[in-house]
Amino acid sequence: MKDILTAPFMVEMVRTTTNMYAHGWDERNGGNVSLLLDEREVGESLDAGRVIRTLPTGFAAPALDGKYFLVTGTGKYFKNVQYAPEVNLGIVRLTKGGEEAELLWGFEDGGRFTSEFPAHMMSHVARLAVDAENKVVMHCHPANLLAMTYVHSLDERAFTRTLWQMCTECIVVFPDGVNVLPWMLCGTNEIGEATAEKMKTARLVVWSQHGIYGAGRDLDETFGLIETAEKAAEIYMKIAQLPRLNTITDEQLHLLEARFGVTGREGYLD
């Protein structure tokens, strides 16, 4: 059996969480990541029949029954993942319609999955219904996107258009735009349900005054989505109080659509 710490999915998770911390997106124990795993890949490095313990999830997700996830732990610091992945990460298999999670590896200090686990799983259900290849849900606290929710309208069309106008690549990277939730209490099924609903139409969901949720086909794509939106928000925050003499026009955004074979979200461009 292969060493699980050298499995490609584990190596990428360690690299990604380390990079997220280095970017300043995941202060202290902020942020969480979940990755849907292939059962065959898990079997190459793990005895899937050996259950360490069973954890209640507090929600139901029949669509994910039997699915395996690599997930960050509650109260864990991303800066420590590279040094002790077996403590800060865990592999779970959902059972009983998603109401229970069998721990198969990790959380060796007695820990458990992130408190945002319900929100992650609900978002996985929503994204898989749109794109069966979407395997990652990522939550973090990028400073400029947070700052933007204090000074910019939370209207999703206006928010998206502002980000598209900040960087030429934005409409290419996230043509589906950005959805926005008002402030809600985190760690609850309510915010999980609201996020999942927003995930049906966009891979990026901003939690006002809190952070952002991103979804994608792999860790690189999801990290890149958030990275691009955060860069655009940084530019916006630098110029928000200045007179704007130039901008990327809707006509130019349409040119980008044609050049890169993407279609901006319906109704968002004039």
Query: Tokens at residue 116, please?
Result: 């945002």
The active-site residue out of 116, 156, 221, 230 is 116
Q: Which class for 197: exposed (0-12), middle (13-18), buried (19 or more C-beta within 10 A)? A: middle
Closest CA to 32 of 146, 140, 107: 140
Measured between alpha carbons, how far is 19 from 174 in angstroms, rounded to an integer? 21
Looking at this protein, which amino acid is placed at residue 174? F
Nearest CA to 205 out of 113, 140, 131 is that of: 140
User: What would the two tokens of residue 215 be?
Assistant: 């979804």
112-116-121 Cα angle (round to 5): 95
Cα separation, 214 vs 94, whole angstroms = 22
Check if 100 is active-site.
Answer: no
Secondary structure letter of residue 65 according to DSSP: T
Q: Which of 117, 69, 109, 75 is nearest to 93 (CA)?
A: 69
Q: Cα–Cα distance between 176 and 252 in angstroms, integer?
A: 17
Distance (Å) of CA 138 to CA 30, 47, 156, 161, 223: 12, 27, 20, 23, 8
Beta strands at 32-37 and 68-72: parallel, antiparallel or unpaired: antiparallel
Catalytic positions, please?
Answer: 116
